[in-house]
Structure 1
Amino acid sequence: MNMLKCVVVDDEFPAVKLLGDYIVKTPGLELSFKSTSAMEALEYIGQHQVDLLFLDIQMPELTGMELVKIIKHAPIHVIITTAYTEYAIEGYEHDVADYLLKPVTFERFLVSINKVRLRISASRVSLAPDRNPSPAYIFIKTEYRVQKVLLASIQYIEGLGDYITIHTPTGKILSLERMKNMEGMLPSSFLRIHKSYIVNIDQIDFIEKGRIIVNKEYLPVGESFKDKVRLHLGLKN
């Protein structure tokens, strides 16, 4: 597993500590540097390899957006962390990987990490199309641990109230996660067909009478999802 070297910058120490704790307990991440000063972080970034930067917006001396503009040519993925939603549009204009609204939960933190990993995987494929990329994966928080799940192994995902169940050939993985968050962290090879189901398109066996069959399971297509499913799968009306 390639470790992502992470830097956390926030002028509030509790926020720095929280994200630092999240990083430490997440497989594949390494907390390289943390600071309440954007100027200190800028100096560190100039002298060390940094893969992922967690960055607050409103800070003295140098704001988060000013720092983003300074390092825009560096190969660093940026996740904005702030209590103010109005900065979201500006952040995405600078191609930030994600936008975390405080207070940041560990579940939402993992969604951001998975987005970054998918970005990295996609960039490796585009840079080396003649090579077989490493299997893409996501991290899912289960009851007792953070589980690494290969995307190719996922047959479909089922929403069960406040929980989801990830169905794989080797069994089921239960997680306290929202379907909307799952939909956001998955690549285009996954398709939401119902408020309670997301399917791996590569795992579809056939489609019959408004249902999608995956591993002998008949999954309904929701009425409000039918047009989207037809378009995504290239089906005629």
Structure 2
Amino acid sequence: MTTNKTISCVVVDDEPLALKLMADYVQKTPFFELKEQTTNPMKAIELVQQGTVDLLFLDIQMPELTGLQLMKIIGHKCKVILTTAYPDYALDGYEFDVIDYLLKPVTFDRFLVAAHKARERLAAEPVIVVQTPTVTATPASYIFVKTEYKIQKIDLADILYMEGLRDYVAIYTTTGKILTLQSMKSFQEQLPDSHFMRVHKSYLVALDKIQFIERNRIVIAGNYIPVGETYQEQFQQRLNIKG
């Protein structure tokens, strides 16, 4: 059984040459669509969480986050084909029900074998038909944040506010403070704007955690957060404040 559906693919590899090779293979395959090629595993996690990735070509040996660790984070949100120069990892990969295991250097004919396996596997999965004219995807209720020593999961409901400092962002939650080198802009793009808002070049707040507002300052958990001049009008409109 096969399908005419285009399969959305993301390639993740910390080696630029290997990344380019796999991306080229994906683009040469008629039923594949290359959504992204990246050396950043955090970017791959973000894309998978959005629910638009069908297939991940994933290198196992990466310095920041191994392929096996990444698979534990994403669970079963998409299918995975592993790539590596080390055959010893094959058994570990199959414990995650990966579609195939490609040993580097990967030839195009071997890549196509894996590609057709992926096509068959995805076609065999049940298709859920929703009888509504429009379907809105439910946003994830959590994010993953890279700290100095680990990748940490944070529930959105626990976030109070974020403060952009010189070299990192401090995330203040109901359980404590978390420091990350990720940018404030990346969080602004990742967090749902229905619950979070940038109110200052250095601050992003959870709207439902605001206790009160005093003289263009927001108070959350007893902490005063300034509302920047360029953000004041938008902030007032958002909260439907008049006068």
The TM-score by the shorter chain falls in which range? Answer: 0.5 to 0.7
Q: Secondary structure at the match of 2:233?
A: helix
Residue 192 of structure 2: which of 169, 187, 193 is its match?
A: 187
CA, structure 1 residues 9+157, in 2 after alignment: closer, same or farther (shift >3 Å)? Answer: closer
Residue 176 of structure 2: which of 171, 176, 179 is its match?
A: 171
Provide the rounded CA distance (Å) in 1 between the counterparts of 2:172 and 2:239: 21
Matched, 1:225 2:225: no
Once the two structures are TM-superposed, the CA of residue 136 in structure 1 deviates from its matched residue by 0.5
Once the two structures are TM-superposed, the CA of residue 216 in structure 1 deviates from its matched residue by 0.6
CA, structure 1 residues 13+178, in 2 after alignment: closer, same or farther (shift >3 Å)? Answer: same
CA, structure 1 residues 13+235, in 2 after alignment: closer, same or farther (shift >3 Å)? Answer: same
TM value normalised by structure 1:
0.55
TM value normalised by structure 2:
0.54
The structure with more radius of gyration: 2
Moved over 4 A (4+): 6-12, 15-19, 34-42
Residue 155 of structure 1: which of 153, 160, 163 is its match?
A: 160
Report the aligned-residue RMSD: 3.4
Structure 1 residue runs of 5 or longer lacking an equivalent are: 1-5, 51-73, 76-119, 126-134
Q: Partner of 1:114 in structure 2? A: none
Q: How does 1:16-35 map to 2 (within 5 A)?
A: 16=22, 18=39, 20-21=58-59, 24=67, 25-26=69-70, 27-29=72-74, 32-33=80-81
Q: Partner of 2:51 in structure 1? A: none
Deviations 1:10-69 (A, max 9, x none): 99524559562457133423672157768556523421249xxxxxxxxxxxxxxxxxxx
CA contact (8 A) 1:138 1:149 kept: yes
CA, structure 1 residues 183+23, in 2 after alignment: closer, same or farther (shift >3 Å)? Answer: farther
Q: How many percent of aligned residue pairs carry the same amino acid?
A: 35
Once the two structures are TM-superposed, the CA of residue 167 in structure 1 deviates from its matched residue by 0.5
Structure 2 residue runs of 5 or longer lacking an equivalent are: 1-7, 23-37, 42-57, 60-64, 83-101, 129-134
Q: Report the count of equivalent residues.
A: 155
